[in-house]
Amino acid sequence: MSTPEVTTVVLDLDGTLVDSVYTHVLAWHAAFQDVGVEVPARRIHRLVGMGGDRLVAAAAGQATEQALGDEVRQRHPQHLDRLFGSITPTEGALDLLEAMRTRGLDVVLASSGDRDLTERLLDVLPGSRDLLGRVVTGSDAEQSKPSGELVEVALGTADRSRAVLVGDAVWDVQSAADAGIPCLGVLTGGLAEAELRDAGAHDVVADAATLARRLVETGSLLRS
């Protein structure tokens, strides 16, 4: 018995196609510092990938969210701008997009960030827009990850039984589960393999390069 061949791939951006998670950690850390709230970098790291609308409360509690949430969210992009030059493609990101295009897969980018940030991050991957089918962003959904809404929007009318999500965060695994599809985890967001497996990842690989090689060599993104 084999699993059905994947025809639709929902791709996370931050930490999966671009090496931006550590930059986000420092940007959020600095945004919290600005308003006098100390949040350990490690804790922020585990929260990157959920929507900014949820992150402040998750990192610093509901009282901080109510008093300072909007200010922290306003300061985060300023610090991200300052640190933006550190963001580079993850290993094999474009190879994966090309391999999926070559096989005729339906590839949808689904990023929690808003449309502006998503566009700026795609600029880090020259040529990526031509290789992607649709691009959906946090601006296209009411509920951010770990809700499956963004994944649902990304899937559209695609066959769920032949779809998979590729992402680096626990929130990717959860939003995939919420939308009823498996998640392939990549380690490029800096979590340990055990963290993604414990969250329920279908499989965990090092990076996009590994998935690109697997697709070229075996014809499938899923381990045979």
Which residues form the interface with a second copy (CB under 8 A)? 19, 21-23, 25-26, 29-30, 33, 38, 40-42, 45, 83, 85-86, 88, 90-91, 187-192, 194-195, 207
> Measured from the CB atom, is 9 or 48 closer to a second copy?
48
Residue 109 burial (CB < 10 Å; 0-12/13-18/19+)?
buried
Cα dihedral 206/163/13/209 (nearest 10): 30
> Measured from the CB atom, is 177 or 187 closer to a second copy?
187
> Are the beta carbons of 139 and 41 closer than 8 angstroms?
no
Taking the complex as a whole, how short is the minimal distance between the CB of residue 23 and a second copy, in angstroms? 7
Taking the complex as a whole, how short is the minimal distance between the CB of residue 179 and a second copy, in angstroms? 26
Taking the complex as a whole, how short is the minimal distance between the CB of residue 42 and a second copy, in angstroms? 4
Radius of gyration of the chain (CA): 17
> 66-105: b or e for each residue (b if 16 or more CB lie within 10 Å)?
eebbeebbebbbebbeebbeebebbbbbbbbbbbbeebeb
* CA gap 155, 210 in Å, rounded: 24
> Measured from the CB atom, is 147 or 174 closer to a second copy?
174
> Measured from the CB atom, is 109 or 187 closer to a second copy?
187
Q: Which of 207, 214, 200 is nearest to 170 (CA)?
A: 200
> Measured from the CB atom, is 43 or 162 closer to a second copy?
43
* CA gap 121, 214 in Å, rounded: 25
Q: Which of 203, 204, 151 is nearest to 180 (CA)?
A: 151
> Measured from the CB atom, is 120 or 197 closer to a second copy?
197
Taking the complex as a whole, how short is the minimal distance between the CB of residue 28 and a second copy, in angstroms? 10
* CA gap 5, 50 in Å, rounded: 29
> Are the beta carbons of 205 and 188 closer than 8 angstroms?
no
Taking the complex as a whole, how short is the minimal distance between the CB of residue 2 and a second copy, in angstroms? 31
Taking the complex as a whole, how short is the minimal distance between the CB of residue 52 and a second copy, in angstroms? 18
